[in-house]
Structure 1
Amino acid sequence: MSAELSILDLFLQASLLVKAVMLVLLGMSVVSWAMIIKRSQVLSEASSKVERFEDRFWSGMDLSQLFQEVQARKDNLSGSEQIFYSGFKEFARLHRSNGKVPEAVMEGTSRAMRVSLSKEVESLETNLPFLATVGSITPYIGLFGTVWGIMHAFIALGAVKQATLAMVAPGIAEALVATAMGLFAAIPAVMAYNRFTAKVGKLENNYINFMEEFSSILHRQAFASPKE
């Protein structure tokens, strides 16, 4: 009969500490899956926004007109749009007040864009440290539950005069469930963390490339204006 025990039966028969370990692992797995789904959506949307905005940016339309369009929805900006908005806004402000010193204008503009870049990358990396933590510690939490469960099983076995495999097998099986749950929580978290880290790195490179190209355009404008 014991050979037919389900995972639920093994959980119910486990010791209190092993049950606590299993519940912790189950909770961490559920939370990490929720974060994986959410972060996947966020990063996919960020990639789409980069492509759409840069297509519009390089379409040849006037930058002042593009800035007006972006400014109309300034509370919902992200990625390259936010970097563009911050850079052009600061460039226009400094150009009006300090247009005769193009070096100062460009320094302030670059600083504003770097701050926006840092904030955007930080936003993309939300929840990644948690996934890394889940991936690194859950196997050890599961192993702790397994060791404790097996120890419990052998202690109980020692109190019996005639021991059989049938007597110890259920206790060992329920302890090993903790290890399985630890791996079940860790493997998706590690895979998602590596995948998301690569995506964030790619988006960050896109942002940096856009910032450099946009800076070159503004640089030409800043140094051309005093001569006009």
Structure 2
Amino acid sequence: MQMMPWQPEWSSWVITPVVRATWFAIQLDYGNVQELITWVVAAGALMFAARAARAAQETNRLQNEQLSALRADQSKRDQKERSEQAESIAVWFGYALSEPMHPAYGRRARYAVVRVRNASQLPIYTTAIYVESPLDGVVSFNEPSVIPPAVEPSQYAIKDFHDIPQTNRAVPFATGIYFRDCQNQFWHRDCLGALHSLSESDFHAEIEEVAKRWGGPRRFPNADD
């Protein structure tokens, strides 16, 4: 059957089945016109209802997908905002030269240090800094209470570095730091540089575990100590 130019797109899937069903009904009962009309109207209503139900399901599916995408974007924004300060904290092992010159050598002595860079705009608290060697385990453990923001890194001397055998000092030393940010979130920047969010209980438990591996006295130094 050829569609007329004025016919809407849905006419073919609505009118054609109804006409066919009506013709079939006429073959069964020529006399009951009222029932025939009622049947045709009911059949059309059912077809429209089915089409509307499918359209509603598709709309719900699209809305659910959009809602899931919005929630995912909001979660990413929340995580970025939550970790913004923590991402600005870095720690590494290095060497510094003493001031003034060493009287015995006529030059400045070199000593091992841990440097912590707080590149955020706010201080960090409850910090615990450790240095680890693949040969000697944890060789330094310091707990400065506060590390303020600064352009230059804070520096902490490794007091017992001279106790490490000279042959063991050539290996790379790894450093890590535990800290609490200004939003009272707890973090660990591990020896590989990865940042981990911790619960408060896990935060304190891990610090205690590192302190046990250290085995030395607990220190609460100031920067440059």
**Which of the two has higher C-alpha Rg?**
2
Q: Which has the higher strand share?
A: 2
> Does the alignment reach a TM-score above 0.5?
no
Normalising by structure 1, we get a TM-score of: 0.34
Structure number with greater CO (CA < 8 Å, separation at least 6) is: 1
TM-score for the superposition, normalised by structure 2: 0.34
